[in-house]
Amino acid sequence: MLYLIARMIDWNGCQRSLGISFRQESLLEQAFVHSSYCNENPGCPLPSNERLEFLGDAVLNFVVTEGLYKEFPNSPEGELTEIRASLICRDTLASLASSLNLGDWLVLGRGEEASGGRTKASNLANAMEALIGAFYLDQGLARTRRFILKQLKPELEEIKSGKIPRNYKALVQEFIQGEKRPTPVYRLVEASGPDHRKRFTSEILVEGEVLGKGTGKSKKIAESQAARAAWERLRCSHG
């Protein structure tokens, strides 16, 4: 039996688009319910996708770790950690979600919709993890593993060919999370020079402590350089 929310979206079309079929369609629906919709609609018969996201994150981490252990039998722990960080970081998950058009199926509140919620990297990455969690509950580990590895195959091929650079932001975040500390925060501290030759300087902080500083021609590059400095510091201090 479909929930009321299903009347607004063609969930059969969603499943055809994804190439999957759910036994419990309510799990598929829940994977796309953003908390903003529940906040604006207290009578919503489905909870938000946050619990499924939590589960999906754990399943994704396990499947990727297991896959890399088998795929790279001669790689040391540090290298495997680095590869895994690149594969399960927000940017990669958001890119995968975008390629699957997951934003089209999100159930958003009016405010989130108006602010471009369908294309926000955080919403897309969270939806990807929630979908994995829902698929795991509905189909089991074996099918979920095949689904995940199929989606990540292009990225794995690029890693094998050495085309993917180090994702220092993902490495630092995974390291900090492993120490049960709050998520790193990036702060722009300076923007100098003419418009056509701007230079940005950013810092990365954890609990108010500056772990690294970086400079670049864009905020993104400056943050990446700051994360690189932090990563080198963390590796030295824990080496």
CA nearest neighbour of 140 among 20, 12, 224, 222: 20
pLDDT tens digits, 21-75? 999 999 999 999 999 999 988 888 889 999 999 999 999 999 999 999 998 898 8
Please report the domains of the chain, with CATH numbers, ordered by start residue.
4-160 (1.10.1520.10), 168-237 (3.30.160.20)
List 188's β-bridge partners, or say none.
Answer: 202
Tokens of 6: 């299903």
Catalytic residue among 57, 82, 112, 223: 57
pLDDT score of 165:
62
CA nearest neighbour of 126 among 196, 183, 56, 195: 56
Tokens of 22: 């759910």
Does residue 3 contact residue 28 with C-beta atoms inside 8 Å? Answer: no
List 25's β-bridge partners, or say none.
Answer: none
Is 57 one of the annotated active-site residues of the chain? yes
Average pLDDT, the chain: 87
Catalytic residue among 129, 138, 203, 223: 129
pLDDT tier for residue 2 given thresholds of 50, 70 and 90: very low
Does residue 155 contact residue 87 with C-beta atoms inside 8 Å? Answer: yes
Does residue 128 contact residue 96 with C-beta atoms inside 8 Å? Answer: yes
